[in-house]
Amino acid sequence: MVTFILNNEQVSTAKPTGSSLLDFIRYDMGLTGTKTGCREGDCGACTVLAGTLTGNTVIYRSAVSCLMPLGNAHGKHIVTIEGINTGHLSHIQQAMADQGAIQCGFCTPGVVMSLVAESTSYRKTTRDSAIASTGGNICRCTGYKSIERAAEAISAFLGDKEITDPVRWLIERKQLPEYFLAIPERLAIIQATEPPPEQAEHTKHGKHPEEHGMRLRIAGGTDLMVQKADALAESGIVTLSERKDLKGIKTEAGRCVIGASVTISEAGESETLNHYFPEISSCIRLIASEHVRNMATVAGNIVNASPIGDISIILLALNADVTIEGDLKTRILPLRDLFLGYKKLDLSPEEFIRSVSFEYNPASALFSFEKVSRRTHLDIASVNSAIQLRMAGDTIAECHLSAGGVGPVPLYMRQTSAFLTGRPVSAESLMLANEIMQEEASPISDARGSEGYKRLLLRQLLIAHFMKLFPDKIKPDIGQL
């Protein structure tokens, strides 16, 4: 059984754990405020809050319920637009009305829930963060300016939000109903008494469910729920998303170790990761929307093996290793050796990724990530690329270059990286490196651009890395390239 709190009601269901939370909310529970739009995580009409008990508090994040498998809701507090009613309009709802941010109203519950998620966050809300929180909500009517004005008004109201206890602060101001106060205690009881559904299956059959060949491993669901929605609607899953042993980011023997089920949002907010790798927050803002980043995991991005997976491209340039666990042994593999061919990995069915690790010293390393997509935000790349350099004076002592969208897998550019190692930073080095890089790449023409366009982007991104990292050295010479 999947058991969770939906608004103010504890619910238990035996529906397939791979079916979508959205369908459960609308068709089983009759809560039709949450809308069905694209069913692919793009429009945000189905946005809800997913609250996870962490210590004694609940951390709420926005989530697209169309891509959340029901099994991932177990033990959580799921809040729909109906669950924030207090008998009067909240500041968010009033601001939306005042600013003319509602026309047909189809997107409105999703927009409101995104702003509620921002309000409940344990961080200061600014105008920019309030607007960014709605980045995954598409509105076909308003032209967005009125929604931005509403977000701006909310950020002013939240100016003195108590970031150590935002939920209580909001309740005291009658912005959330009082039942939220008892949620941590109620979730703790569920966690203590209701085993997650796949554990129940494990006990029933006496061995791991996947041995029955009937269940898929799923983490955030943002890839599988798009690719296999129909099959999953009828089946059970083995969820990895809340496994505590796959969570967390730590430093171990001089390496930064990221648990497989760390979400992209958690990675961006991690103090450890930001200390190690200060560029992480700006890189992550270019990936998907906040709703999707709140669900999508690091390992999911690697294992879906998309040739343009941003996390894979970043980790390749960080020269990361993956720790892979099987039934009998654990092995460590350089990430670049995991990708064997299009959607083909050196990972057997019984193996899974436990963690990813890399060594990075911001004092001696330089890093750059570049992504070109049709839109800056909420779009996958046409071509993306990352580079890590260690310098010895003016010479490149170590180079790790990666590129996506230019081959069947996220590419670690072995020959180009080897070529640049030992070379001075100059326009000539880049010109020669580009020739090698073009040999290593094999882009194809598709909806994201022609082969020629992608080759041009690849070259431009190499130049962009060096212009960013060595503005004095490369800019004057750029005409030679």
Ligand X SMILES: Cc1cc2nc3c(=O)[nH]c(=O)nc-3n(C[C@H](O)[C@H](O)[C@H](O)COP(=O)(O)OP(=O)(O)OC[C@H]3O[C@@H](n4cnc5c(N)ncnc54)[C@H](O)[C@@H]3O)c2cc1C
Of 370, 382, 374, nearest to 455 by C-alpha is: 382
How far out from the chain centre does Cα 370 lie? 17
- Determine if 217 is a binding residue for ligand X (CB under 6 A): yes
> Minimal distance in Å, beta carbon 39 to ligand FES?
5
- Which of 310, 321, 370, 440 touches ligand X by CB under 6 A? 310
Q: Does 257 bind ligand X (CB under 6 A)?
A: no
Are the CB atoms for 250 and 273 separated by under 8 Å?
Answer: no
Neighbours of 391 (CB within 10 A): 16
Q: Count how many Cα atoms sit within 13 Å of the Cα of residue 243 in the half-sphere of its side chain.
A: 21
Q: Which is nearer to ligand FES, 294 or 357 (CB)?
A: 294
The CA distance from 204 to 207, in Å, is 8
List the alpha helices (DSSP H) in 306-450: 310-317, 335-338, 414-420, 427-440
* Total site size for ligand X, rule CB under 6 A: 32
Among 116, 117, 224, 461, binds ligand X (CB under 6 A): 224
Residue 322 makes contact with ligand X by CB under 6 A: no
Q: How far apart are CA 310 and CA 284, in angstroms?
A: 9
> Interaction with ligand X in 347-406: which residues (CB under 6 A)?
352-353, 380
Query: Is the separation of the CB atoms in 22 and 37 below 8 Å?
Result: no
Report if residue 175 touches ligand X, rule: CB under 6 A. no
In whole angstroms, the minimum distance from the beta carbon of 102 to ligand FES comes to: 6
From the list 385, 388, 472, the residue with the least C-alpha distance to 427 is 472
Residue from the set 22, 260, 335, 461 that interacts with ligand X by CB under 6 A:
260
Q: Which residues contact 144 (CB under 8 A, 6 or more apart)?
A: none
> What is the β-pairing status of strands 216-218 and 77-79?
unpaired
Q: Count CA atoms closer than 13 A to 212's CA, side-chain side.
A: 16
- Closer residue to ligand FES, CB minimum distance, 287 or 317: 287
Q: Tell me which of ligand FES, ligand X, none is bound by residue 299, counting a contact when its beta carbon lies within the kind-specific cut-off of 5 to 8 angstroms.
A: ligand X
We find the least distance from the C-beta atom of residue 23 to ligand FES, in angstroms, to be: 11
218 binds ligand X, rule: CB under 6 A? yes
Using the rule CB under 6 A, which residue among 45, 92, 296, 430 binds ligand X?
A: 296
Nearer to ligand X, 79 or 378 (CB): 378
CB closer to ligand X, 125 vs 137? 137
Minimum CB distance to ligand FES smaller for 100 or for 334: 100
Cα separation, 108 vs 16, in Å, equals 29
Asked if residue 307 binds ligand X (CB under 6 A), the reply is: no
Indicate which of ligand FES, ligand X, none lies near residue 462 (CB less than 5 to 8 Å, by partner kind).
Answer: none
- In the complex, minimum distance from the CB of residue 219 to ligand X, in angstroms, rounded to a whole number: 3
Q: Which residues bind ligand FES (CB under 6 A)?
A: 36-39, 41-46, 64, 66, 102-107, 139-142
Taking the complex as a whole, the smallest distance from the CB of residue 366 to ligand X amounts, in Å, to 23
Nearest approach in angstroms of CB 418 to ligand X is: 26
CB 238 within 8 A of CB 209: yes
CA distance 333 to 303: 14
Interface with ligand X (CB under 6 A): 40-42, 216-224, 226, 240, 260, 287-288, 292, 295-297, 299-301, 303-304, 309-311, 352-353, 380
